[in-house]
Every structure is written in C-alpha cells, then in structure tokens.
C-alpha cells in the first residue's frame, strides 16, 4: 500500500469547515484540484470527480464510490471495483479548539498498478491535495471572519 496525504490547520470552527467541505456546488470557488464533485452523500453510490490533475483547466472524469460520511468528522470515496488499483480517499476534520480545526486528507492505493500510478501521478496528486487544503483553509476562514 502507498499513501499520499496533506494536512493543514484552519482557523475556523469545525462546523464551518465541514459545511464548506460538503458544499459541492461551491467547489469552483475554492478547490482548484477538484472544482466539480457530483455526490449524493449516500454510501455505496457513485461519486463523479472532475479533476484538474495538471492545473491546466482540462478536467479528467474520475468515477469512484462513496465509502462513508461521518457527520462533521469525515467523508471518503474510492475505487473499489476489480480495477488493478484500489483506493481510499478520506478527508478528516479534528477540532483543535472552538475556532480551530485540523484538516487531513489522504489517499491510500493498493494493487498491482500502484507503482505506475506513483511514478506518473504522485507529485501531481500531492500538489493537488496541498491546493485543496490551502483552498479549504482560505474559504473556511473567510466565511468565519465575515
């Protein structure tokens, strides 16, 4: 198994960060890596991710399965089919105080094609995850201040 992750501290209450994270309609305002997500929030159903892997405006469509939603705590989706790579992408919030939240995202990869995925996409995914963390921080803090 391989893992890519990113973590950031957000100066906003956990509830605000959670609301931003689940407001998929507003993703174009703050999420440059995945500016569009189609998700019903029903575990087991399909999640359609529109990913700007190269940060060039060309979106790749990635279809995954919603694994879980734990209210105000975490959400995860992944590739669960018989594809030669399986994944689990989680986004986890931890309250560090009344107005401070830690955001952690990780993607775990299993399967025989993982070395190929890591060779071609690890740096792009890492950069994308860092952009998501920074964008979420900025958006949640803007909402909290206003």
pLDDT value at position 134?
A: 98
Residue 105 near residue 5 (C-beta atoms within 8 A): yes
Domains of the chain by residue range:
2-145
pLDDT value at position 112?
A: 93
Note the pTM of the prediction, 2 decimals.
Answer: 0.95
pLDDT value at position 59?
A: 97
Residue 31 near residue 39 (C-beta atoms within 8 A): no
Considering the four listed CATH numbers 3.30.565.10, 3.40.50.150, 3.30.530.20, 3.30.160.150, the one that applies to the domain covering 2-145 is 3.30.530.20
pLDDT value at position 96?
A: 98
pLDDT value at position 58?
A: 96
| 3-state helix/strand/coil string of 12-33 | CCHHHHHHHHHCHHHHHHHCCC
pLDDT value at position 81?
A: 85
Below-70 pLDDT ranges, the chain: none
pLDDT value at position 90?
A: 98
């Amino acid at each position: 198994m391989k893992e890519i992750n990113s973590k950031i501290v957000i100066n906003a209450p956990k509830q605000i960060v959670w609301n931003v994270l689940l407001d998929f309609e507003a993703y174009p305002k703050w999420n440059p890596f995945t500016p569009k997500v189609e998700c019903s929030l029903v575990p087991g159903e399909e999640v359609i991710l529109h990913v700007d892997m190269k940060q060039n405006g060309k979106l790749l469509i990635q279809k995954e399965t919603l694994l879980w939603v734990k209210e105000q705590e975490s959400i995860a989706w992944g590739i669960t089919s018989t594809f030669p790579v399986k994944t689990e992408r989680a986004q986890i919030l931890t309250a560090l105080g009344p107005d401070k939240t830690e955001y952690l995202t990780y993607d775990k990869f299993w399967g025989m094609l993982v070395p190929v995925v890591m060779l071609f996409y690890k740096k792009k995914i890492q950069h994308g995850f860092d952009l998501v963390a920074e964008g979420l921080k900025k958006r949640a803090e803007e909402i909290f201040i206003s």
